[in-house]
Amino acid sequence: MLHKTPLRLTFFLYTLETVGGAERATTLVANGLAARGHEVNIVTTWGRDSRFPLHPEIRLHALKETVGSFKRDYVRDVRKLRAYLREHQPDLLIASEVSSTLLALPAAAGLGIPCVGWEHFNFNTTFNRPRGPLNRWRLARRLAARFAQAVVVLTRRDAELWRAGLPDLRARLEVIPNPLPFPLAAVNPYRPDRNIVLAAGRLTEQKGFDLLLDAWAQLEADFPNWTLRIVGDGEEATNLRAQALHAGLERVAFVGKVQDMHAEYSAAGLYCLSSRYEGLPLVLLESQAFGLPVVAFDCQTGPQEIIEHDVNGLLVPPGDTDALAGALRQLMSDSVRRTSLSERSHALASRFGVEEILTRWEDLLGQLRRGVSRPRMALVPRANS
């Protein structure tokens, strides 16, 4: 599909050499827009390779070869990005991960290139960095709210948080969820006889796998035919394995990273999301596309946008491991209910199909190019700063 007037687009993010939700979503949208006939480039602060496949027409440019220091490299990175923008003159600059607007906004200042900030987490996410006005994520959100032409958030709830937390918001605020990374037609029918509770993601404090293990400890003895399968790796891997060992859990499989998540979803009977916070969890979208009933903490933000309680899954209060165990118990003991939830899961997942999401991006970017007020700002670093 070719848009009436092709756009020249530059996506900017820290790197594509790591595997994460922001990187995956960026490449999905960039690839889709390139396939629709737009000229798409991707600029990263470091790393000349991508862990995700890129459309053959997309050019990938890195400001430097390897990861460096955000503070030490800041002025040089802004200048390099500014030089790139001067040379290539894109119609729009999309800063993927809102914290990257700290580089993108000053680099684009005065060049007549509208900047879009793309929030992949939620407004309150600061990654446990020190609180205060100089927290990188808080500062980036304040600057994006005032000086970006638009900010894209993933959920309606996050849009509410932005408006409440930034009363001087000037940027256009748009809600566009991330798309599913595969067509729904590629999914096999749900089988309720598969007794695996699946959980996947980076093994970090944010993802709450420690809370899931606490809940599983209440269930394992009562469900000898069920297994908890945790897919992913990360800094909490050793602690989580030790927690499972200390609790005497025998049917918890830590399988590390896998190449074929489709096989994991197809083999599971339930999906569980135990995160302390999220943006719009792609694993929930994927599990819904595979027709998996879901039990999830109703954390900020995302689960409420995907799960309708008792329609396609169950939501429980954030951090309440007793409630999490209770909801899992309900579904693990009732295959008829699981099948009913599965039927709605697949249907509701169609809201996040890639073509629909790409059209929403096209509409937004086309409107911004056709005539948006461009705020003035003076954020270009001085040579001696």
pLDDT per position as a tens digit, 223-243: 999 999 999 999 999 999 999
Look at residue 379 in the predicted model and tell me its pLDDT.
Answer: 40
User: What's the whole-number mean pLDDT along residues 195-213?
Assistant: 97
Mean pLDDT value across the chain: 91
pLDDT band at 62 (very low <50, low <70, confident <90, very high): very high
Domain assignment of residue 66, given as a range: 8-179+354-370
Residues 199 and 84 in one domain: no
Least confident of 260-269, 331-340, 344-353: 344-353
In a shared domain, residues 82 and 129: yes
The 3-class secondary structure across 189-240, one letter per residue, is CCCCCCCEEEEECCCCHHHCHHHHHHHHCCCHHHCCCCEEEEECCCCCHHHH
pLDDT, average across residues 325-334? 98
Question: Around 70, how many Cα atoms within 13 Å sit in the side-chain half-sphere?
Answer: 10
Q: Looking at per-residue confidence, does 19 or 129 come out higher?
A: 19
Residue 188, domain member (yes or no)? yes
Residue indicated by tokens 């960039």: 30
State residue 213's pLDDT score.
Answer: 99
Amino acid at position 337, single letter? R
Higher pLDDT, 302 or 254: 254
Does residue 108 sit in the same domain as residue 52?
yes
Flag whether 2 is in a domain.
Answer: no
Mean pLDDT to the nearest integer, 93-105? 96
How confident is the model at residue 378, as a pLDDT?
A: 37
pLDDT at 66 > cutoff 60: yes
Task: For 83-98, write each residue's pLDDT tens digit.
Answer: 999 999 999 999 998 9
Cβ-based burial of 276 (10 A; exposed 0-12, middle 13-18, buried ≥19): middle
Instruction: For residue 29, give the H/E element and its range.
Output: helix 21-35
Residue 111 has pLDDT above 80, yes or no: yes
Same domain? 362 vs 286: no
pLDDT at 278 over 60: yes
Which of 280, 276, 273 lies closest to 314 in space, CA to CA? 273
In whole angstroms, give the CA distance from residue 21 to residue 17.
Answer: 12
Of the candidate ranges 122-131, 310-319, 367-376, the one whose mean pLDDT is the lowest = 367-376
Q: Are residues 126 and 228 in the same domain?
A: no
Average pLDDT over residues 57-75: 95
**Is pLDDT above 80 for 82?**
yes
Predicted confidence at residue 380, as pLDDT, reads: 39
Position 79 pLDDT exceeds 90? yes
- In the numeric block, which tokens belong to residue 32? 């889709």
Structure-token pair, residue 226: 């069920």
> Is residue 262 situated within a structural domain?
yes
Q: Give the distance, in angstroms, between the CA of residue 143 and the centroid of all CA atoms in the same chain.
A: 21
What would the mean pLDDT of 122-141 be, rounded to a whole number?
A: 74
Inform me whether the pLDDT recorded for 36 exceeds 50: yes
Residues 141, 250 within the same domain = no
pLDDT, residue 323, reads: 99
Which CATH number belongs to the domain containing residue 19 in this structure? Answer: 3.40.50.2000
| pLDDT band, residue 3 (cuts 50/70/90) | low
Q: Which pLDDT band, with edges at 50, 70 and 90, does 130 fall under?
A: low
- Looking at residue 5, its pLDDT comes to 86
Q: Give the rounded percent of residues in the chain with a pLDDT score beyond 70.
A: 92
With respect to residue 215, please indicate whether it lies within any of the assigned structural domains: yes
pTM over 0.85: no
Q: How far apart are CA 97 and CA 94, in angstroms?
A: 9
**Same structural domain for residues 160 and 233?**
no
Average pLDDT value for residue range 27-54: 97
375 domain-assigned: no
pLDDT at 361 over 80: yes
Q: Where are the alpha helices (DSSP H) in 93-190?
A: 101-108, 136-147, 156-165
Query: What integer is the mean pLDDT of 3-14?
Result: 90
Please tell me whether residues 162 and 73 are part of one structural domain.
yes
375 or 315: which leads in pLDDT: 315
pLDDT attached to residue 185: 57
Residues 239 and 342 in one domain: yes
**pLDDT value for 240:** 98
DSSP letter for each residue of 46-79:
S-S--SS---TT-EEEESSSS---HHHHHHHHHH
Domain identity same for 257 and 200: yes
Q: Does 73 fall in a domain?
A: yes
Q: Would you say residue 272 lies in a domain? A: yes
Q: What pLDDT shows up at residue 267?
A: 95
Same-domain status, 73 and 28: yes
**Residue 328 in tokens:** 């899992």
Task: Tell me whether residue 377 is in a domain.
Answer: no
Whether residue 175 is found in the same domain as residue 308: no
Question: How many CA atoms lie within 13 Å of 25's alpha carbon, on the beta-carbon side?
Answer: 30
Residue 129's SS3 state is: coil
- Tally of domains within the chain: 2
Residue 127's pLDDT band, with cuts at 50, 70 and 90, is low
Task: Say which residue, 189 or 50, is predicted with more confidence.
Answer: 50
Average pLDDT estimate for 139-165? 95
- Given pLDDT bands bounded at 50, 70 and 90, which one contains residue 259? confident
**Kind and range of the H or E element at 262?**
helix 261-267
CA distances 177 to 198, 279, 320, Å, are 23, 10, 27
Widest distance between CA atoms in the chain: 68
